[in-house]
Amino acid sequence: MGETRDIGALLPPAVPLCYETLNNSCLRNLDSVGFQLSVYLACTVGICLIVMGNLLVVVSIAHFKILHNPTNLLLLSLALADLLLGLVVLPFSTARFVVGCWYFGDHFCKLHTFLDTAFSLSSVLHLCFVAIDRYWAICYPLRYHMKFTIRVAYMYIGVAWCLPFAYTAFFVYSNVIEGGLSHLLVDIPCEGSCQLLFNKLWGWVNFPMFFIPCILMITLYVKIFIAANKQVKEIRAMNNRSGFPVPIGASKTERKAAKTLGIAMGIYLLCWLPFTIDTMVDSLLNFVTPAALFDMLIWLGYLNSGCNPLIYGFSYRWFRKAVKAIVTFEVFAPRSSSMDLYQE
């Protein structure tokens, strides 16, 4: 979703350029070798955490049959989007971040931007559908299992993948869009920037796909919070009157799941909202954000992809047991897929 800053053209020969033989080349970073190696190391560690954490989520839910429910299938698909972002997108983003240049060609620049944006938008749609799932589980617990089935989960997963990919492909690869927006450019992108033709509107193009699901998620989680608190008060009142536990409404496990996924949604907003706002405002102010700050905002968004496995690890006992079974190779034992991860 991020692009290198457009520096300018016709620079003096003494200035380090991405392409020394081109007059309209972008500027190359002048950081010391030690600093660049430190940034490479930090980004590599971040990528490894993103890939390994989400791979554990994917393997855990895919392998253990007891985890095959609608909510976990959505979480598996979300983890797959974050995993692919770490594997396919971030290594090339790291190289551009450190050097300040794009050396992988114009065609791969478009593909990279397409995958970067599509995976990120897919994540927010997955979280949106998880919020819908939790809304039904908490607010309508008696109808939840009839309304939100495995089939419905697969339908949501299909939409969460197909819509962002179709939406992004239209703006990245459509010649009609390029022709229609070319007159809005003030400066010609320098060589090595990986700056798409409609870059000045890129933030506004992505804003509806980010903003609308986020507003829906916030609305649903407010309703979930109100409903969960109401159910807790009803349970306590009936317990006081009857003198023994009375099961009513959503279970404690479902309320905990809603709280955990609400935290995941909140972290997503904290990570991606600064970048989303900056890309919209910056395009109106002719890109005044310093390059270092812009790159930090991009990587703040990327790091969100590694947060969800950490949240699950602290919140879900079944995830910790699944990870233990994976790292100790218990998953290769006969009938390991039937292990009861919820057993105390």
Tell me: the pLDDT tens digits for 139-153? 888 888 888 899 999
| Token pair in block for residue 336 | 């390991």
Assess if residue 4 is contained within a domain.
Answer: no
Across 81-106, average pLDDT: 90
Render 197-240 in DSSP notation, one character per residue: TTGGGHHHHHHHHHHHHHHHHHHHHHHHHHHHHHHHHHHHHHHH
Across 187-192, average pLDDT: 66
Assess if residue 73 is contained within a domain.
Answer: yes
Q: What integer pLDDT is reported at residue 11 of this predicted model?
A: 45
Q: What integer pLDDT is reported at residue 238 of this predicted model?
A: 67
pLDDT at residue 173 tops 60: yes
Could you give the 3-state DSSP secondary structure of residue 274?
A: helix
pLDDT at residue 223 tops 60: yes
Across 121-144, average pLDDT: 87
Across 268-292, average pLDDT: 78
CA–CA dist 53, 304 (Å, integer): 12
In the structure, what pLDDT confidence band is assigned to residue 56 with cuts at 50, 70 and 90? very high
Assess if residue 67 is contained within a domain.
Answer: yes
pLDDT at residue 182 tops 70: no
Q: What integer pLDDT is reported at residue 241 of this predicted model?
A: 64
Across 297-304, average pLDDT: 87
Q: How many domains does the chain have?
A: 1
The predicted-structure confidence for 234-256, as pLDDT tens digits, reads as follows 666 666 666 555 554 456 666 67
Assess if residue 24 is contained within a domain.
Answer: no
Assess if residue 23 is contained within a domain.
Answer: no
Q: What integer pLDDT is reported at residue 77 of this predicted model?
A: 95
Range of the domain at 235: 33-333
Higher pLDDT, 16 or 283: 16
Q: What integer pLDDT is reported at residue 9 of this predicted model?
A: 47
pLDDT at residue 44 tops 80: yes
CATH of the domain at 126: 1.20.1070.10
In the structure, what pLDDT confidence band is assigned to residue 219 with cuts at 50, 70 and 90? confident
The mean of the pLDDT values for the chain is 80
DSSP element (H, E) containing 317: helix 317-327
Assess if residue 20 is contained within a domain.
Answer: no
Cβ atoms 133, 258 nearer than 8 A: no
Cβ atoms 316, 340 nearer than 8 A: no
Q: What integer pLDDT is reported at residue 127 of this predicted model?
A: 86
Which residue type occupies 313? G
| Token pair in block for residue 311 | 């949240």
Higher pLDDT, 290 or 142: 142
Determine which of 149-153, 155-159, 220-224 has the lowest per-residue pLDDT on average. 220-224
CA–CA dist 326, 67 (Å, integer): 15
pLDDT at residue 318 tops 60: yes
Length of the chain as a residue count: 344
Our CA dihedral for 252, 254, 255, 256, rounded to 10 degrees, sits at: 90
Determine which of 107-116, 223-232, 305-314 has the lowest per-residue pLDDT on average. 223-232
Q: What integer pLDDT is reported at residue 168 of this predicted model?
A: 87
CA–CA dist 125, 293 (Å, integer): 27
CA–CA dist 146, 11 (Å, integer): 66
Determine which of 22-26, 173-177, 329-333 has the lowest per-residue pLDDT on average. 173-177
pLDDT at residue 80 tops 70: yes
Q: What integer pLDDT is reported at residue 117 of this predicted model?
A: 87
| Token pair in block for residue 47 | 């990528």
pTM exceeds 0.85, yes or no: no
pLDDT at residue 13 tops 70: no
Assess if residue 247 is contained within a domain.
Answer: yes
Higher pLDDT, 220 or 197: 220
Q: List Cβ<8 Å contacts ≥24 apart for 222-231.
A: 223/135, 223/139, 224/131, 224/134, 224/135, 224/138, 224/139, 224/258, 224/262, 225/262, 227/138, 227/139, 228/138, 228/255, 228/258, 231/138, 231/255
| Token pair in block for residue 65 | 């049959």
pLDDT at residue 4 tops 50: no
In the structure, what pLDDT confidence band is assigned to residue 90 with cuts at 50, 70 and 90? very high
Residue linked to tokens 């983890």: 79
Q: What integer pLDDT is reported at residue 185 of this predicted model?
A: 52
The percent of residues in the chain predicted with pLDDT above 90, rounded, is 27
